[in-house]
């Protein structure tokens, strides 16, 4: 059966392939959102029964779909997509970063693999402190910002346990792409002036991604021969092709050149971890998500369970009452997240309590239906909050793919370099762009990180420790156990609220899959104490109503998130959905 594609350019209305198989019946109510919001409700999405892939890039989606068509399973396809993204979406796809895999096997078992980056052994809690009480720029740029990458170890381990096709076959498409791919608008959009400036600081990065100091031109072929050679070593030797031998030598030599901390021992010592997924019931459905070292699942559960006591479906979607409840729940969930959560191998956390209905009920009972509670009055559980003045920067940082195969194996995979192009540093001779994940730690208590998150001691830097993430790869299953949705997104702290909104749009408001993803988004993360709204995302009247309740509302300058999802309808059809915001591409077999 031929593949069915949706190819969306940035900021265009989602559109579907022209074949009749795409026609999705839409008995559900069309949501109303401002006419000026650029993404229109009611679009269609590719539909199939033999597999579906949604990722942020057409070439990566193609790599995954080809694997499925050849009889590979969803984990095989994820490996192919992940390596392809490392080449064609180098701002976030990676071999030099880390991520999280949530896998549902055909018999319904859900497995969570954590291959988050880790602090090098020489890291210490005050390594980024400045004399004036802040944190230094090298938490985000250059050699010291780099944490030990986990991606290759995680993908190889997942494939060893769950894959079907040969590893070599899955790495091969990325090698071809690294030898050269055509520069398209999607890639150029990742090179705004401040990113060009960051990459320009490092000759190895400028030589790879820039052309005479600026972005390459559309239609040029971007060649990454050193990355192709690194990928060949990974193809031939598996994880050892990255953590040992020439690649490792190149990474460590780069660290030594610029005062970075990663050693051969750090690379050799890195291991992915299989963890118990976060599982909670929500209106009869079961939601599965990522446990720490990501905060995604816990925060999602904590917010959703507070809202379960309200019949959201009876509220006007994106009316002031709905948004008040949503953002008050997030305020409380993020207060707990920021205080309690960290790497489970280093800190004790009251996880069972934080994701329990009883605790959510207690938290929700403090929500005043008429007034915003200032974040200064919402601490973790009970206690004072802290103030932050640093504005979170919106973004698409990170990348995500959702994949389902013909046997029902499903993967939700989110991966990151942290900010776009991570540390902006390519390790010379390897083609590997290195993460700046060290900034996801609490570099200094009380001082916000890049995403404006004010985090606690639980997330302090320590040798070998994984920094807390917001990545939220998520699955939804129906009460009878059948899969309903695979979903995830980039976007730093906004990942959690983005995934929550998409799930709620689908489960609470019965939106079609494409509407659930395209709909305007809002965000609150406890501190700074305000609701962020996507540009044109809310009518003035709703903003005024929120302000009358005591909320501070900021209209963002950019959209955020880049949701990639696969939804399974009642009849078992797979509906692949790519976010229209940046040009993700979904396809089904
Ligand atoms: N680097 C963003 C996150 O993991 O939350």
pLDDT digits (tens, 9 = 90+) for 118-142: 999 999 999 999 999 889 999 999 9
Indicate which atom in ligand 1 lies nearest the CA of residue 296.
5
Q: What percent of the chain has pLDDT over 70?
A: 92
pLDDT digits (tens, 9 = 90+) for 40-71: 776 779 999 999 999 999 999 999 999 999 99
Measured CA to CA, the distance from residue 180 to residue 384 in angstroms comes to 54
Cross-sheet strand order for the sheet of 98-104: 4-7, 585-588, 51-55, 399-405, 410-416, 98-104, 110-115, 273-275
- Sign of the CA dihedral with 316 first, then 319, 321, and 324 last: positive
Q: What is the pLDDT of residue 213?
A: 95
For residue 4, is pLDDT > 80?
Answer: no
pLDDT digits (tens, 9 = 90+) for 447-456: 888 878 888 8
Mutate which of 396, 435, 470 for ligand 1 pocket (most atoms within 8 A of beta carbon): 470
Distance of CA 69 to the CA centre of its chain: 26
Among candidate residues 148, 112, 17, 47, the one with its CA nearest the CA of residue 432: 148
Q: What pTM does this model have? A: 0.93
For residue 18, is pLDDT > 60?
Answer: no
Q: Is 459 in the pocket of ligand 1 (CB under 6 A)?
A: no
Asked whether the bond before 382 is cis by omega within 30 degrees of 0, the reply is no
- Those residues with Cβ within 8 angstroms of residue 214's Cβ, 6 or more apart along the chain or in another chain: 196
Measured CA to CA, the distance from residue 313 to residue 319 in angstroms comes to 12
H or E element that contains 411: strand 410-416
For residue 2, is pLDDT > 90?
Answer: no
Q: What is the mean pLDDT of the chain?
A: 91
For residue 8, is pLDDT > 50?
Answer: no
Q: Is 470 in the pocket of ligand 1 (CB under 6 A)?
A: yes
Q: Is 293 in the pocket of ligand 1 (CB under 6 A)?
A: no
- Least-confidence region, from 14-18, 279-283, 457-461, 555-559: 14-18
DSSP 325-355: HHHHHHHHHHHHHHHH---TTT----HHHHT
Measured CA to CA, the distance from residue 59 to residue 84 in angstroms comes to 7
Q: What mean pLDDT do residues 533-556 have? A: 97
Cα–ligand 1 centroid distance for 311 (angstroms) = 32
pLDDT band at 106 (very low <50, low <70, confident <90, very high): very high
Cα–ligand 1 centroid distance for 494 (angstroms) = 10
Number of Cβ within 10 Å of residue 17's Cβ equals 19
Beta bridge partners of 281: 286
């Amino acid at each position: 059966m031929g593949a069915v594609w949706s190819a969306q350019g940035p900021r265009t209305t989602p559109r579907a392939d022209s074949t009749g198989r795409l026609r999705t019946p839409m008995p559900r109510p069309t949501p109303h959102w401002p006419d000026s919001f650029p993404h229109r409700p009611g679009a269609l999405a590719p539909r199939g029964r033999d597999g579906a892939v949604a990722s942020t890039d057409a070439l990566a989606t193609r790599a995954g779909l080809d694997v499925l068509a050849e009889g590979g399973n969803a984990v095989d396809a994820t490996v192919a997509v992940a390596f392809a993204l490392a080449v064609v979406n180098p701002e976030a796809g990676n071999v030099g970063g880390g991520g999280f895999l949530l896998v549902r096997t055909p018999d319904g078992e859900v497995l969570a693999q954590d291959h988050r980056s880790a602090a090098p052994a020489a890291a210490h809690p005050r390594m980024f402190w400045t004399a004036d009480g802040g944190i230094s720029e090298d938490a985000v740029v250059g050699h010291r910002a780099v944490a030990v990458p986990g991606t290759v170890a995680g993908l190889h381990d997942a494939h060893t346990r769950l894959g079907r096709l040969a590893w070599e076959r899955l790495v091969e498409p990325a090698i071809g792409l690294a030898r050269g791919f055509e520069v398209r608008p999607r890639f150029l959009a990742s090179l705004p002036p401040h990113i060009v400036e960051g990459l320009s600081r490092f000759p190895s990065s400028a030589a790879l991604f820039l052309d005479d100091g600026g972005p390459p031109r559309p239609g040029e072929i971007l060649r990454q021969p050193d990355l192709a050679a690194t990928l060949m070593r990974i193809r031939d030797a598996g994880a050892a092709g990255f953590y040992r031998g020439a690649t490792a030598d190149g990474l460590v030599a780069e660290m030594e050149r610029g005062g970075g901390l990663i050693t051969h021992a750090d690379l050799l010592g890195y291991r992915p971890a299989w963890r118990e997924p976060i599982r909670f019931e929500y209106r009869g459905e079961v939601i599965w998500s990522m446990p720490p070292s990501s905060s995604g699942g816990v925060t999602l559960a904590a917010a959703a369970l507070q809202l379960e006591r309200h019949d959201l479906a009876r509220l006007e979607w994106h009316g002031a009452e709905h948004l008040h409840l949503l953002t008050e729940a997030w305020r409380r969930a993020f207060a707990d997240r920021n205080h309690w959560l960290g790497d489970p191998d280093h800190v004790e956390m009251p996880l069972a309590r934080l994701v329990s209905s009883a605790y959510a009920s207690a938290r929700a009972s403090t929500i005043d239906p008429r007034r915003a509670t200032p974040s200064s009055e919402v601490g973790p559980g009970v206690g004072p909050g802290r103030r932050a003045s640093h504005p979170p920067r919106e973004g698409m940082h990170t990348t995500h793919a959702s994949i389902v195969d013909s046997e029902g194996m499903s993967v939700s995979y989110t991966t990151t370099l942290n900010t776009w192009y991570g540390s902006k540093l390519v390790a010379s001779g390897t083609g590997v762009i290195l993460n700046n994940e060290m900034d996801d730690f609490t570099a200094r208590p009380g001082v916000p990180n890049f995403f404006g998150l004010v985090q606690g001691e639980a997330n302090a830097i320590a040798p070998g420790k994984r920094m807390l993430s917001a990545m939220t790869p998520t699955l939804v299953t129906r009460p009878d156990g059948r899969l309903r949705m695979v979903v995830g997104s980039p976007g730093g702290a906004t990942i959690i609220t983005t995934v929550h909104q998409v799930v709620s749009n689908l489960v609470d408001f019965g939106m079609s899959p494409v509407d659930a993803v395209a709909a305007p988004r809002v965000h609150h993360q406890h501190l700074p104490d305000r609701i962020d709204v996507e540009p044109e995302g809310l009518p003035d009247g709703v903003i005024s109503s929120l302000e009358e309740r005591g909320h501070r509302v900021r209209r963002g300058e950019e959209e955020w998130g880049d949701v990639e999802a696969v939804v399974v309808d009642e009849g078992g059809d797979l509906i692949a959905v790519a976010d229209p915001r940046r040009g993700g591409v979904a396809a089904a077999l």
